[in-house]
Amino acid sequence: MAITLPNIYKSKNLKLFVAIPIVLMVISVFLSTRLVLDSSLAGGVIITIQSNTTQSSQQIATEVGTALHVASPSVVSASGIVTITIAANQSISTAYDQLLAFSLNQSAYGVYYTNATAAQIALQSSPSNSTASAELAVADAGMNKTLAGMNAALSGELASLSAFVPAQTYNTSDTTAMGLIAQDSYTNASLVYQQDVESKLATIVPSSAAVSYEPTAPSEGKAFLSSLEQIIIIAFVLVSIVVFFIFRSPVPSFTVVFGAANDIIIAIGAMALFGIPLGIVSIGGLLMLMGYSIDTDVLTAIRILKRHEGTPEERAFSSMKTGLTMTMAAIASFAVLFAISFIAYIPTYYEISGVVLFGLIGDLATTWLGNASMMLLYVKRKESRKIG
């Protein structure tokens, strides 16, 4: 016996339907404050080892965490290749930031020094040149400020690296020597840390070939994340423009952007709740989710606003039945992948399937309770204006 679903869009509670995804969004925003970044964004080290170890990924991860004193290392073991990802050493990361600060101050110092030299030459030929005097004053002040910045950065870097390299003495006015000390100290400390990591891992995962050691600085991850945020913002703006061009109204544009953004927010909230870190892999899942959401929302808007068979409520209900079939099939697929990757401890599949799975579940409420209801309210308002 076939089950006939009632058309929820004939209800008088469309505004209540819209409130449901908004409530989910607020809860997800609150949960997102607990979201953590993985090593690809927060900085870390990826070690690839060729080994015939019979240990499971979970066993290796436990031993690596204990030996290296790192939390939640990621381990993937397949086809004789063991890939271990650990968080960045805090002292090394802090020293790297100080090294960057030193380099920026050193570059600025060089500019000020050049300006000061040019101003002094000008004053030698024309001692009363007020412009040159002002430029010299600015350059001298800049040199003093950047020199103090270099001293502070180098001092902070050496303090952070004290566990890896011996103490260094230097002339606080010799910027060239300071630069060499800053670079050499960081390089030597990184090498000492690498050797320590590799020696401890050798006792856990015996290697039959050379070990690949690839560090990622936290600042690189932050730069990538910042660039990605800009790309997503631009993508949303372009989508809004295209949708506005199709429907000639800001309401459909808003609903499409709201739907995609809300799905991503809900997915991020679920990631924080279930301990799925944000990284390059999970970002890939978020982008997949964004594309799926935009596609669903645009097609739903076209069916409700552009077509004329039946009533708007009937068109919305027909779209929902088709969309639910597609989304439930996708949810089932990703749920199976999520379960398998969790049991087998495959972090990459676990992250990407978890992101898409929870995002699709959120999309059910966002699209069919939120977006479709907003579209219908918009249609009803337009019709009432025509009648009035």
Q: Are residues 233 and 355 in the same domain?
A: yes
pLDDT at 7: 82
20, 369 contact by CB (below 8 A): yes
Cross-strand pairs, 44: 87, 216
User: CA–CA separation, 107 vs 311, rounded Å?
Assistant: 68
- Tell me whether residue 263 is in a domain: yes
pLDDT at 388: 54
- Tell me whether residue 1 is in a domain: no
Q: Are residues 205 and 229 in the same domain?
A: no
φ, ψ for residue 85, nearest 5 deg: -120, 125
User: CA–CA separation, 14 vs 387, rounded Å?
Assistant: 21
Side-chain-side CA neighbours of 173 within 13 Å: the count stands at 0
Q: Are residues 375 and 280 in the same domain?
A: yes
pLDDT at 127: 85
Residues (pLDDT < 50) of the chain are 1-2
Q: What is 166-181 written as a DSSP string?
A: ------TT-HHHHHHH
> Token match 């068109």: residue?
315
pLDDT at 284: 86
Looking at residue 37, the DSSP 8-state letter turns out to be: B
Q: Are residues 227 and 345 in the same domain?
A: yes
Please, what is the Cα angle at 281 between 276 and 287, to 5 degrees? 100
Give the ranges where 248-371 is alpha helix by DSSP (H).
Answer: 250-274, 280-305, 312-344, 347-365
Please, what is the Cα angle at 191 between 189 and 196, to 5 degrees? 95
User: What letter represents residue 219's amino acid?
Assistant: S
Last residue of a domain, one of 137, 160, 195: 195
Secondary structure of the chain: what % helix, strand, coil (to 5)? 75, 5, 20
Q: Are residues 51 and 123 in the same domain?
A: no
- Tell me whether residue 382 is in a domain: yes
Q: Are residues 178 and 320 in the same domain?
A: no
φ, ψ for residue 24, nearest 5 deg: -60, -40
Cross-strand pairs, 69: none
pLDDT at 88: 84
263, 295 contact by CB (below 8 A): no
- Tell me whether residue 319 is in a domain: yes
CA 33 to chain centroid: 14
pLDDT at 1: 46
Please give the structure tokens belonging to residue 29: 């925003």
| Nearest alpha carbon to residue 77 among 207, 203, 213, 216 | 207
pLDDT at 210: 64
> Per residue in 140-184, pLDDT tens?
999 999 999 999 999 999 999 999 998 888 888 899 999 999 999
Sign of CA dihedral 11, 16, 20, 22: positive
Starting at the earlier edge strand, list the strands of the sheet with 44-50: 74-78, 81-87, 44-50, 212-216
Q: Are residues 327 and 350 in the same domain?
A: yes
User: CA–CA separation, 334 vs 357, rounded Å?
Assistant: 6
Q: Are residues 211 and 64 in the same domain?
A: yes
- Tell me whether residue 3 is in a domain: no
> Per residue in 6-48, pLDDT tens?
888 887 888 899 999 999 999 999 999 888 877 777 778 888 8
Q: What is 210-261 written as a DSSP string?
A: PPEEEEE-HHHHHHHHHHHHHHHHHHHHHHHHHHHHHHSSHHHHHHHHHHHH
Cross-strand pairs, 49: 82
Range of the domain at 108: 90-195
Q: Are residues 260 and 302 in the same domain?
A: yes
pLDDT at 43: 76
User: CA–CA separation, 381 vs 206, rounded Å?
Assistant: 70
18, 369 contact by CB (below 8 A): yes
74, 347 contact by CB (below 8 A): yes
Q: Are residues 276 and 308 in the same domain?
A: yes
Beta-carbon contacts of residue 185 (< 8 Å; ≥ 6 apart): 95, 157, 158, 161, 165, 168
pTM above 0.75, yes or no: no
User: CA–CA separation, 49 vs 238, rounded Å?
Assistant: 44
Please give the structure tokens belonging to residue 315: 């068109």
Q: Is 108 exposed, middle or buried (0-12, 13-18, 19+ CB in 10 A)?
A: middle
User: CA–CA separation, 143 vs 49, rounded Å?
Assistant: 48
φ, ψ for residue 215, nearest 5 deg: -85, 150
The CATH number of the domain holding residue 357 is: 1.20.1640.10
